[in-house]
């Protein structure tokens, strides 16, 4: 009778399957034995593995783990002959991804191995063979162990490299000098390898170096102050002044880079290892070739090679120069900028003023080619006292101005000789530099080269006329121009100024006149020599003070005495006649003076 499904014993069936005869202890023992045959692996490390198989897309690699790992076939492009059984290094990225697969990478294994080698090379200071891949800003990119390293241009060679492209695509030995783990940057140097080889050569050169020694070198660098010469492992400076006996502005005028030249050692500082070189010293000094007939007073020809504030240098022969001081360029007494006379490149003639062949110095002059204007025979007649001239204002000072009448002939116009009527404190109130001015000669001293000139003397002294117009006690309209500490300045007719004390500005109503007001003023004092007129407004409505009356009386007495010389002695006692005569003379003189001033004023307009 068959059993129903409910009565079937499944345990009996399962016990007879695969491994059904093993106990739990036996199963555990077998699992342990299998685990012992597998490697314990750690993520993020480089291990060795055996290629199990290879397809177009993947390479299966056994690293002794419980499962094989997969690596993209593209990571083995540099190993086209890769086959099953080959041993390779791989990097464990992940023991088990989402699909339970072991993930390996040969690319990362190469990178990790490269960094290990690079760090080892830095620590042990070993030489690495690199490949220059390309040029970059400031240097080259070199492949070392598959890592791109930077080779700065300054670390390529001991001498400056001007063309980096010549190294691209070539192998080059380098040393690792710096690793930046933060940015994964590596800096290498080829220069350190060369320097080590040159050090022995450099020491040999420095040991045998001596002043006066002639060496051969190559121009490695050029600047505006000189060139650096490679003497075979050690550099020396050839200053621009030691290149040629003649004057040059830049070394490139006579030299070029990489040129091989002979130089002589001028100086050597063993401590600082500085070597000063010369090139012109290998040639005879050009002063030795200067003609014997060149002496003081003789004329020479040359070209201007330099212009400075104090003068210019004339090159007579290459390397033979003379200084033309600015004071020797013109007979004019006013020193000007040398560039007003000449410029670099001008060819000209000059007279030798001083010559020292031993010191190799020479001073020259240009103005000596023409006659000194102060020694001309017609000078005394041309600039005789009273003669009139027109000149150019060259300089202004506190006391006057200097006027150039002709090249080399200057005269002084004192500030007091500019105007009869205006109170000029500084010449700049009257003229400016460059203006033309008419003058008359007041004094001539040819021996001391001095000429005194005047501008106001071109006209009559109006104060002779003013004396007759602005008589004591006369009344005139005047405008208050300004006020000082104690005095006010008044503008009188005919463009002259007068002065009034503050107490003399009080008006009849008790108020004080202010700037800008025009009032009547009475002349209380007149000083012709000092060109000063003192006035008062209060005198227009008050009686004069006793001292003022006394002063006027004294003046009247002098006028009477003057008038008495034209009359007979018999009338001298006749006071009335003298007084009448005085009034008559003064009135006529005053009227004539006013008429003269008005005529002159209209002419000026």
Handedness of CA 167, 169, 173, 175 (dihedral sign): positive
Q: How confident is the model at residue 363, as a pLDDT? A: 93
Is residue 302 included in any domain, yes or no?
yes
216 vs 7, which has greater pLDDT? 216
Is residue 182 included in any domain, yes or no?
yes
Percent of the chain with pLDDT over 90: 22
pLDDT digits (tens, 9 = 90+) for 486-499: 899 999 887 788 99
Q: How confident is the model at residue 580, as a pLDDT? A: 45
133 vs 82, which has greater pLDDT? 133
From 603, 589, 599, select the one nearest 469 (Cα to Cα).
589
| Cα 9-11-13 angle, rounded to 5 deg | 80
- Number of folded domains that form the chain: 6
Measured distance CA(498)–CA(480) in Å, rounded:
9
Question: Is residue 22 predicted with pLDDT exceeding 70?
Answer: no
Residue 121 shares a structural domain with residue 131: no
Question: Is residue 375 predicted with pLDDT exceeding 80?
Answer: yes
What DSSP character marks residue 40?
P
From 390, 391, 305, select the one nearest 343 (Cα to Cα).
305
Among the candidates 186, 208, 230, a domain finishes at: 208
Taking every pair of C-alpha atoms in the chain, what is the biggest distance, in angstroms? 207
Among the candidates 516, 536, 556, a domain finishes at: 536
CA separation, residue 211 to residues 206, 244, 264, 578 (Å) = 12, 19, 8, 107
Residue 203 shares a structural domain with residue 235: no
User: Does residue 400 sit in helix, strand or coil?
Assistant: strand
| Band of pLDDT at residue 589, cut at 50, 70 and 90 | low
Measured distance CA(563)–CA(556) in Å, rounded:
10
Question: Is residue 295 predicted with pLDDT exceeding 60?
Answer: yes
- b/e sequence 201-222, b meaning 16+ C-beta within 10 Å: ebeebeeebeeeeebebebbeb
Is residue 14 included in any domain, yes or no?
no
| Band of pLDDT at residue 515, cut at 50, 70 and 90 | very high
CA separation, residue 287 to residues 306, 347, 358 (Å) = 19, 20, 9
Domain that holds residue 236: 214-282
The stretch 412-417 carries a mean pLDDT of 91
Q: How confident is the model at residue 179, as a pLDDT? A: 83
Question: Is residue 584 predicted with pLDDT exceeding 50?
Answer: no
How do strand 320-325 and strand 299-307 relate by DSSP bridges? unpaired
Residue 116 shares a structural domain with residue 131: no
| Band of pLDDT at residue 585, cut at 50, 70 and 90 | very low
Contact residues for 453 (Cβ-Cβ < 8 A; gap 6+): 389, 391, 403, 411, 412, 413, 417, 439, 440, 441, 442
Q: How confident is the model at residue 573, as a pLDDT? A: 45
Among the candidates 100, 125, 150, a domain finishes at: 125
Q: How confident is the model at residue 592, as a pLDDT? A: 56
- Tokens matching residue 80: 């086209």
Measured distance CA(64)–CA(69) in Å, rounded:
10
From 42, 48, 182, 183, select the one nearest 109 (Cα to Cα).
48
- Tokens matching residue 502: 């503050």
Residues 188, 142 contacting (CB under 8 angstroms): yes
Measured distance CA(234)–CA(203) in Å, rounded:
9
Whole-angstrom Cα Rg for the chain = 55
pLDDT digits (tens, 9 = 90+) for 322-364: 999 988 888 876 667 888 788 888 999 999 999 988 888 999 9
Residue 180 shares a structural domain with residue 244: no
Question: Is residue 27 predicted with pLDDT exceeding 80?
Answer: no
Residue 431 shares a structural domain with residue 382: yes
The alpha helices in 163-225, defined as continuous H runs, are: 191-208
Is residue 10 included in any domain, yes or no?
no
Q: How confident is the model at residue 301, as a pLDDT? A: 92
How do strand 69-72 and strand 58-62 relate by DSSP bridges? antiparallel
104-118, 239-253, 432-446, 576-590: the lowest-pLDDT one = 576-590
Most confident segment among 103-107, 201-205, 224-228, 340-344: 224-228
Percent of the chain with pLDDT over 70: 79
CATH label of the domain that carries residue 441: 2.40.50.140
Question: Is residue 164 predicted with pLDDT exceeding 90?
Answer: no
Measured distance CA(257)–CA(10) in Å, rounded:
100
- Tokens matching residue 151: 């080779």
Question: Is residue 84 predicted with pLDDT exceeding 60?
Answer: yes
Residue 291 shares a structural domain with residue 359: yes
Residue 337 shares a structural domain with residue 390: no
From 423, 429, 395, select the one nearest 413 (Cα to Cα).
395
- Is 604 buried (19+), middle (13-18) or exposed (0-12) by CB count in 10 A? exposed
How do strand 69-72 and strand 102-105 relate by DSSP bridges? parallel
Is residue 396 included in any domain, yes or no?
yes
Question: Is residue 18 predicted with pLDDT exceeding 90?
Answer: no
The count of C-alpha atoms lying within 13 angstroms of the C-alpha of 587, restricted to the half-sphere facing its C-beta, is 6
Q: How confident is the model at residue 277, as a pLDDT? A: 92
| Band of pLDDT at residue 579, cut at 50, 70 and 90 | very low
Residue 255 shares a structural domain with residue 194: no
| Band of pLDDT at residue 5, cut at 50, 70 and 90 | low
Measured distance CA(157)–CA(167) in Å, rounded:
12
Is residue 234 included in any domain, yes or no?
yes
The stretch 4-33 carries a mean pLDDT of 55
Q: How confident is the model at residue 393, as a pLDDT? A: 92
Is residue 416 included in any domain, yes or no?
yes
Question: Is residue 188 predicted with pLDDT exceeding 80?
Answer: yes
568 vs 390, which has greater pLDDT? 390
Q: How confident is the model at residue 574, as a pLDDT? A: 46
Q: Which own/partner contact pairs does 351-360 have at CB distance under 8 Å and 24+ positions apart?
A: 351/297, 351/298, 351/299, 351/300, 352/294, 352/295, 352/296, 352/297, 352/298, 352/299, 352/300, 352/322, 353/296, 353/328, 354/296, 355/294, 355/295, 355/296, 357/287, 357/290, 360/285, 360/287, 360/320
Q: How confident is the model at residue 38, as a pLDDT? A: 44
Residues 306, 312 contacting (CB under 8 angstroms): yes
Q: How many helices (H) and strands (E) does the chain have?
A: 8, 30
User: Does residue 206 sit in helix, strand or coil?
Assistant: helix
Question: Is residue 605 predicted with pLDDT exceeding 80?
Answer: no
Question: Is residue 222 predicted with pLDDT exceeding 50?
Answer: yes
Residue 276 shares a structural domain with residue 304: no
Q: CB count, 10 Å around CB of 261?
A: 18
Is residue 53 included in any domain, yes or no?
yes
Measured distance CA(146)–CA(118) in Å, rounded:
10
Residue 304 shares a structural domain with residue 362: yes
Q: How confident is the model at residue 572, as a pLDDT? A: 44
Residue 468 shares a structural domain with residue 443: no
| Band of pLDDT at residue 565, cut at 50, 70 and 90 | very low
Residue 119 shares a structural domain with residue 133: no
Q: How confident is the model at residue 440, as a pLDDT? A: 93
Question: Is residue 549 predicted with pLDDT exceeding 80?
Answer: no
Measured distance CA(524)–CA(519) in Å, rounded:
15
What DSSP character marks residue 506?
B
148 vs 40, which has greater pLDDT? 148
The alpha helices in 275-354, defined as continuous H runs, are: none
The stretch 49-56 carries a mean pLDDT of 82
The stretch 586-593 carries a mean pLDDT of 54
Question: Is residue 307 predicted with pLDDT exceeding 60?
Answer: yes
Q: Return mean pLDDT, the chain.
A: 79
């Amino acid at each position: 009778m068959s059993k129903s499904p409910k009565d079937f014993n499944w345990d009996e069936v399962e016990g007879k399957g695969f491994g059904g005869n093993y106990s739990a202890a036996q199963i555990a023992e077998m699992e342990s034995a299998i685990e012992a045959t597998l490697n314990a692996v750690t993520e993020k490390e480089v291990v060795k593995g055996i290629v199990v198989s290879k397809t177009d897309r993947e390479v299966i690699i056994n690293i002794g783990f419980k499962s094989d790992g997969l690596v993209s076939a593209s990571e083995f492009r540099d190993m086209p002959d890769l086959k099953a059984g080959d041993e390779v290094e791989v990097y464990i990225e992940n023991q088990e991804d989402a699909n339970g697969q072991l993930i390996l990478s040969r690319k990362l294994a190469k990178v990790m191995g490269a960094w290990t080698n690079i760090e080892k090379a830095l620590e042990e200071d070993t030489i690495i063979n690199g490949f220059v891949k390309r040029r970059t800003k400031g240097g080259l990119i070199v492949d070392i162990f598959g890592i791109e390293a930077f080779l700065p241009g300054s670390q390529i060679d001991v001498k400056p490299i001007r063309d980096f492209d010549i190294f691209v695509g070539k192998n080059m030995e380098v040393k690792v000098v710096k690793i930046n783990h933060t940015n994964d940057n590596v800096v290498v140097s080829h220069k350190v390898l060369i320097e080590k080889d040159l050090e022995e050569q450099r020491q040999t050169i420095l040991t045998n170096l001596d002043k006066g020694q002639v060496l051969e070198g190559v121009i490695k660098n050029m600047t505006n102050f000189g060139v650096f010469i490679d003497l075979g492992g050690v550099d020396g400076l050839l200053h621009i002044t030691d290149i040629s006996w003649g004057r040059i502005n830049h070394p490139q005028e006579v030299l070029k880079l990489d040129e091989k030249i002979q130089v002589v050692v001028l100086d050597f500082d063993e401590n600082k290892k500085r070597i000063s070189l010369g090139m012109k010293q290998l040639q005879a000094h050009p002063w030795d070739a200067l003609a014997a007939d060149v002496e003081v007073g003789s004329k020479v020809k040359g070209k201007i090679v330099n212009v400075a504030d104090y003068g210019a240098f004339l090159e007579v022969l290459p390397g033979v120069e003379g200084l033309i001081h600015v004071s020797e360029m013109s007979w004019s007494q006013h020193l000007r900028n040398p560039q007003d006379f000449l410029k670099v490149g001008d060819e000209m003639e000059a007279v030798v003023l001083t010559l020292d062949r031993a010191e190799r110095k020479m001073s020259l002059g240009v103005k000596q080619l023409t006659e000194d204007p102060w020694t001309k025979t017609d000078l005394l007649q041309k600039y005789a006292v009273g003669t009139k001239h027109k000149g150019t204002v060259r300089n202004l000072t506190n006391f006057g101005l200097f006027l150039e009448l002709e090249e080399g002939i200057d005269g002084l116009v004192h500030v007091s000789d500019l105007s009869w009527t205006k109170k000029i404190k500084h010449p700049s109130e009257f003229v400016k530099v460059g203006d033309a001015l008419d003058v008359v000669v007041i004094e001539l001293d040819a021996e001391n080269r001095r000429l005194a000139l005047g501008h106001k003397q071109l006209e009559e002294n109006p104060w002779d006329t003013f004396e007759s117009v602005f008589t004591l006690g006369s009344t005139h309209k005047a405008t208050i121009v300004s006020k000082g500490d104690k005095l006010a300045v008044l503008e009188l007719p005919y463009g002259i100024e007068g002065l009034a004390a503050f107490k003399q500005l009080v008006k009849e109503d008790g108020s004080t006149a202010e700037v800008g007001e025009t009032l009547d003023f009475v002349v209380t004092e007149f000083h012709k020599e000092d060109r000063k007129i003192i006035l008062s407004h209060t005198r227009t409505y008050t009686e004069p003070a006793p001292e003022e009356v006394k002063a006027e009386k004294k003046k009247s007495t002098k006028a009477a005495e003057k008038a008495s010389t034209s009359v007979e002695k018999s009338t001298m006692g006749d006071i009335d006649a003298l007084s009448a005569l005085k009034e008559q003379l003064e009135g006529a003189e005053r009227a004539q003076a006013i008429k003269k001033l008005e005529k002159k004023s209209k002419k000026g307009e």
